[in-house]
Amino acid sequence: MPLLLIISSFLAGLLICNAVPHLAAGLRGEAFPTPFAKPRGVGLSAPLVNVVWGWINLFLGLAIMPRLVLFSAVMPLFNTLWLSFALGFLLSGVYLAWHFGRVRPSAP
């Protein structure tokens, strides 16, 4: 399996996982940190900024996900591309939980 497909699956997992908290916060009308806030990634951005940032992450993640992963009619449950995507999603989720757990004042 070409390395580029594995890397693009991993990056798609990172981007799609990052889209979730931004879309969730923005759609609930809550401020949430984005790269556009001051200080970067720590300060809060408006809900609209989060919806747009979340959509961009989701769109790019889906756009770079290999067609083999998304549109294959017959696909084994655990192939290299899916595992790469899942690893990217998991690592991004762990990092985001750690980072925003420290940044957000209401986090336990």
How is the chain classified by DSSP, letter by letter?
--HHHHHHHHHHHHHHHHHHHHHHHHHTT--EE-TTSSSTTTSEE-HHHHHHHHHHHHHHHHHHS-HHHHH-SS--SS-HHHHHHHHHHHHHHHHHHHHHHHH-TT--
27 lies in some domain: yes
Neighbours of 32 (CB within 10 A): 23
- 34 within domain boundaries: yes
Establish if 91 belongs to a structural domain.
Answer: yes
Q: Does residue 85 carry a pLDDT above 60?
A: yes
Q: 87: domain range?
A: 3-67+81-99
CA distances from 48 to 31, 32, 39, 51 (A): 9, 10, 18, 5
| Helices 80-103 and 3-27, axial angle in degrees (round to 10) | 40
Whether 12 maps to a domain, the answer reads yes
- Asked if pLDDT for residue 81 goes beyond 80, the answer is no
* Per-residue pLDDT at 74 exceeds 50: no
In the structure, what pLDDT confidence band is assigned to residue 64 with cuts at 50, 70 and 90?
Answer: confident
Could you give the number of structural domains in the chain? 1
Establish if 76 belongs to a structural domain.
no
In a domain, 85, yes or no: yes
108 pLDDT higher than 50: no
Q: Output the pTM of the full model.
A: 0.72
Q: Would 31 be classed as within a structural domain?
A: yes
pLDDT > 90? residue 104: no
In a domain, residue 73? The reply is no
